Each structure stands twice: as C-alpha cells, then as structure tokens.
Amino acid sequence: DPSGVGFYFSIGHSSVVFLMAVFLGVSVKWAKDELPHFQDISGTIGTLVSGFFLVLIGVLNLIILISLIKLFAKLRREHVEEAEVDELLESRGFISRFVGPYFKLITRSWHVLPLGFLFGLGFDTASEIALLALSSGASQQAISFIGILSLPILFASGMSLLDTLDGVVMKYAYNWAFFNPIRKIYYNITITAISVMAALVIGMIELLQILADKLDLHGAFWAFIGSIEFDYLGYILVALFLITWLISSLIWKFGRIESNWGK
C-alpha cells in the first residue's frame, strides 16, 4: 500500500532542511558573535552564496525543463517509446538521476525515508528553496537560534501533514498521470517549471539586492528591488504556484492535448 510513502518521504526530505537550517543558523550567528567587525562582510558573502546556489539549481532544473518540453513536442508529432520518456524523467532533478536505479529496491513505504533524504540534497523543490532562503535571512537578523530552528520544525510538520495527505490523494492522481506518456510528461513539466521559477526568482532577487547595495545603484528598478521583502515574496510565490497550476489545468482541458496526441 503506497499510502504511507508521502509521510516517510517527507521525514527524510525535511531532515535535510533541518540540518541545513541549523548549519546556516550556527555559521551566521558564529560570524556575528565572534567576528563583529566582519558582520557586514559575512552577511554579504552568505547572501551571495545563497543567491548563486539558488540560481545554479534553477539553471540545472531549467535544462531539464527544456528537455521535457522538447520531448513533449516530439510526443505530439510522432510516436515515442515509453522507455525514452521514463529515461528522461529518471534524470529530472539534481539527485534523481543518481538514485533512479534504486527505485526498484523499494518494497515498503518506509523504504523511501532514506530516498527522501537523498532527494532533499538536490534542493530542487520550491518549498525547500524558499525555506532555506528564509532561514538565511532570519540568521542575519536579531532572531534567536531557537527562533531560527522553529522554521525547519514548522516546515517538517507542514510537509509531513501535507505529504501524508498527498500520498493518499496522489495514489489516484498518478493513476491519471501515468496512464500514458503525454500525461506523464505534461505533469512533470508543470512540477519542474514551478521549481525553476522559485529558484531563479529568489536567487536573482538576492543577488540584485546585494548589487544595488554595494554599488549604490539608484533608479526606479533598483528601488523596487531593494523594497522587496522575503516575507511578502513568500505569499507572491504561493500565488504564482496556484496560478501556474490553474493555467496548466486550463491548457490541458481546453487545449485538448491528449485528444490531439499523435495526430
């Protein structure tokens, strides 16, 4: 019964987020306590590392997204073996291409716990990227270490609850998505696009804010970038995710993609 897969996967996945949040909290707090003269430098370096990392993850996932879109277009023009579709999907994400062969070893729901941990190391989900960005920002503010730890704990609680429900619901959703290759590719295009959007938006904003601050850049654009607060950005991203899913659903329904497949 795959209904428990979501719960165990979320435990492994959120463990990575917790460890990374602890690392960010300890490193930034240590720099502020032990190196008071370098607080500004350490904050700048931390934001640069975070920004470049998120942009890198976004670009890597964008490459996968482009491959998915190309295969999707190919699927609509001609017949493609399902093995080719599965091969591309197994390579989707930073870590999935390495652990894909081990999927066949999973015979119980709890077997996905270490797999969830490995996937967490890929940093290719939108929620994980957003949480680490928030933890990094909180570490640079006057927030206690315990307060910072509350972020990954809340993340783990929410992820465990929603992934458990998701595991039950998606057991039926996957019956839809994996009915044929065109559905499988379309579903993964939507998931990957959301991840790319989150990583690039957050990463670019971090880098542009550092650039504006250090180079003392002025103008309407730079004023707008500097005014962006990550608290509100989180709400904006959630809205964008919902809009993306809505648009994706409408395109699938009214574009009659499946009915036109292979014509």
pLDDT category, 134, cuts 50, 70, 90?
low
Angle at 238 between CA 159 and CA 8, to 5 degrees: 15
Q: Is 263 inside any structural domain?
A: no
What's 37-48 look like in SS3?
HHHHHHHHHHHH
Q: What is the pLDDT of residues 175-214, one digit of tens each?
A: 665 666 677 777 778 878 888 888 888 889 888 988 888 8
Q: For 222-228, what is the mean pLDDT?
A: 85
pLDDT of residue 13: 80
The CA distance from 238 to 241, in Å, is: 5
Percent of the chain at pLDDT > 70 equals 58
pLDDT of residue 38: 47
Higher pLDDT, 185 or 135: 185
Q: Is 66 inside any structural domain?
A: yes
Closest CA to 188 of 40, 85, 97, 114: 85
Q: Is 99 inside any structural domain?
A: yes
Q: For 1-20, what is the mean pLDDT?
A: 77
Report the number of distinct structural domains present in the chain: 1
What's 78-111 look like in SS3?
CCCCHHHHHHHHHCCCCCHHHHHHHHHHCCCHHH
Q: For 35-60, what is the mean pLDDT?
A: 68
Q: Is 261 inside any structural domain?
A: no
For residue 244 the two structure tokens come to 């993306």
Q: Is 126 inside any structural domain?
A: yes
Max mean pLDDT among 40-54, 70-84, 119-133, 205-219 falls in 205-219
Q: Is 259 inside any structural domain?
A: no
**Residues, the chain:** 263
Q: Is 260 inside any structural domain?
A: no
Domain that holds residue 149: 2-254
pLDDT(161) > 50: yes
Give me the sign of the Cα torsion angle 253, 183, 96, 159: positive
Q: What is the pLDDT of residues 62-111, one digit of tens each?
A: 888 888 888 788 777 776 666 666 666 665 555 555 555 556 666 777 77
Least confident of 90-99, 217-226, 246-255: 90-99
Q: Is 125 inside any structural domain?
A: yes
